[in-house]
Amino acid sequence: MKTKRHGAVLGLIAAGALLLTACGSDNNAPTGSTNSAAAGESSTPVECGGKSKLSAEGSSAQKNAMDTFVQAYQQKCQGADLAYNASGSGAGVKQFIGGQVDFGGSDSPLSESKGEVAGAAERCKGNPAWNLPLVFGPVALGYKLEGVTDLTLNGEVAAKIFNGAIKKWNDPAIAALNSSAKLPDKDIKVVYRSDESGTTDNFQKYLKAASKGAWTQGDGKQFKGGVGEAKEKSAGVAQAAGSVDGAITYVELSFAQDNKLSLAKIDNGAGPVELNDASVGKAIDGAKIKGSGNDLVLDLDSIYGSTEAGTYPLLLATYEIVCSKGYDADTAKAVKAFLTVAATDGQAGLAAAGYAPVPKAFQEKLLTAIKAIA
List domains and CATH numbers for the chain.
7-137+291-300+317-372 (3.40.190.10), 139-281 (3.40.190.10)
DSSP states of 173-209 as a string?
HHHHH-TTS---S-B-EEEEESS--HHHHHHHHHHHH
Which amino acid belongs to residue 209? Answer: A
How confident is residue 72, by pLDDT bands cut at 50, 70 and 90? Answer: very high
pLDDT of residue 3 exceeding 50, the answer is no
- Each residue of 182-205: pLDDT tens digit? 999 999 999 999 998 888 988 999
- Residue 68: which H helix or E strand, with range? helix 63-76
Let me know: does 371 contact 361? Beta carbons within 8 Å: no
**Contact call for residues 306 and 3 (beta carbons, < 8 A):** no
pLDDT at residue 267 tops 80: yes
Judge whether residue 241 has pLDDT over 90: yes
- Check whether 361 has a pLDDT greater than 90: no
Average pLDDT over residues 226-239: 95
Average pLDDT over residues 295-305: 88
At 302 the pLDDT is 77
pLDDT at 42: 57
Segment 76-134, tens digit of pLDDT: 999 999 999 999 999 999 999 999 999 999 988 999 999 999 999 999 999 999 999 99
Contacts of residue 65, defined as CB under 8 A and 6 or more positions apart, other chains included, come to: 134, 135, 137, 318, 346, 350, 353, 355
Which pLDDT score is estimated for 301?
82
pLDDT of residue 247: 98
Range with the poorest average pLDDT among 37-41, 137-141, 268-272: 37-41
pLDDT band at 1 (very low <50, low <70, confident <90, very high): very low
Residue 21 confidence class, pLDDT cut points 50, 70, 90: very low
Tell me the mean pLDDT in the region 200-228.
95
Q: Given this model, what pLDDT does residue 43 score? A: 67
Q: Which of 138-147, 155-164, 270-279 has the lowest mean pLDDT?
A: 270-279
Question: What amino acid occupies position 260?
Answer: K
User: In the structure, what pLDDT confidence band is assigned to residue 4 with cuts at 50, 70 and 90?
Assistant: very low
pLDDT digits (tens, 9 = 90+) for 27-55: 333 333 334 333 234 568 999 999 999 99
pLDDT at res. 353 = 81
User: Rounded to two decimals, what is the model's pTM?
Assistant: 0.70
How far is residue 315's CA from residue 313's CA, in Å, rounded to a whole number?
6
Distance in angstroms (rounded) separating the CA atoms of residues 351 and 340: 18
Does the pLDDT of residue 229 top 50, yes or no? yes
Residue 333: band (very low, low, confident or very high) from pLDDT cuts 50, 70, 90: very high
| Average pLDDT for the chain | 87
Q: Do residues 321 and 110 make contact, with C-beta atoms less than 8 angstroms apart?
A: yes
User: How sure is the predictor about 137, in pLDDT bands with cuts at 50, 70 and 90?
Assistant: confident
Q: What angle do CA 187, 188, 189 make, to 5 degrees?
A: 110
pLDDT at 24 over 50: no
* Percent share of the chain, pLDDT over 70: 89
Residue 320: the pLDDT is: 98
> Does the pLDDT value for residue 259 go beyond 50?
yes
Q: What is the mean pLDDT of residues 240-259?
A: 94
Distance, in Å, from the CA atom of 69 to the CA atom of 366, rounded to the nearest integer, reads 15
